[in-house]
Amino acid sequence: MGNAQAALAASRLSGQYVEQGNKEAWLGLFSEEAIVQDPVGKSPLDPSGEGHHGKVAVAGFWDLIIAPGQIKFTILSSFPAGDECANVVRLVNKLPGDITMQMEMVVVYKADDAGKISSLKAYWDFDTVQEQMASA
């Protein structure tokens, strides 16, 4: 299996594990040195814009961002190439307080030589999502 196919397979499993709330399986997809940028750039979820580096930080990202909600993660299309896979995703997150967040985004997964995710970059606009939630 080439790295593009490994990235595609890992991306699919990532979405499944997020939907299931399976933190340990999700973390098992990542290399020890993985970087998660979700969203890419500076935001209240990542004030430095540098991403969450290493498994401990990625686990903290899960606890802070993924764990509080109930997420439906639908891959609309996938584009594997090189050692990466870019997915167009529709995400619906039901948060405490009867808040529902909906968005489409592009998520790029990079696989290392062992087939582990070394980088996850999610492209979506934090401010637009905040405005959507405020007007709901």
Rounded Cα gap, residues 27 and 81, in angstroms: 23
Per-residue pLDDT tens digits for 100-127:
889 999 999 999 999 999 999 999 998 8
CA distances from 86 to 5, 64, 75, 91, 127 (A): 11, 24, 10, 15, 22
Question: How far is Cα of residue 105 from the mean position of the Cα atoms in its chain?
Answer: 10
Give the pLDDT confidence of 5-27 residue by residue, as tens digits. Answer: 999 999 999 999 999 999 999 99
3-state SS, 32-98, equals EEEEEECCCCCECCECCCCCEEHHHHHHHHHHHHHCCCEEEEEEEEEEEECCEEEEEEEEEEEECCC
Residue-level pLDDT at 10: 97
Fold assignment, 3-135: Nuclear Transport Factor 2; Chain: A, (3.10.450)
Query: Residue 132 above 80 pLDDT?
Result: no
For residues 42-50, give the mean pLDDT: 93
- Is residue 1 predicted with pLDDT exceeding 60? no
**Sign of the torsion angle spanned by Cα atoms 57, 61, 64, 68:** negative
Q: What is the pLDDT of residues 47-103, one digit of tens each?
A: 999 999 999 999 999 999 999 999 999 999 999 999 999 999 999 999 888 888 899
H or E element: which one contains 122?
Answer: strand 117-123
In this prediction, residue 98 carries a pLDDT of 87
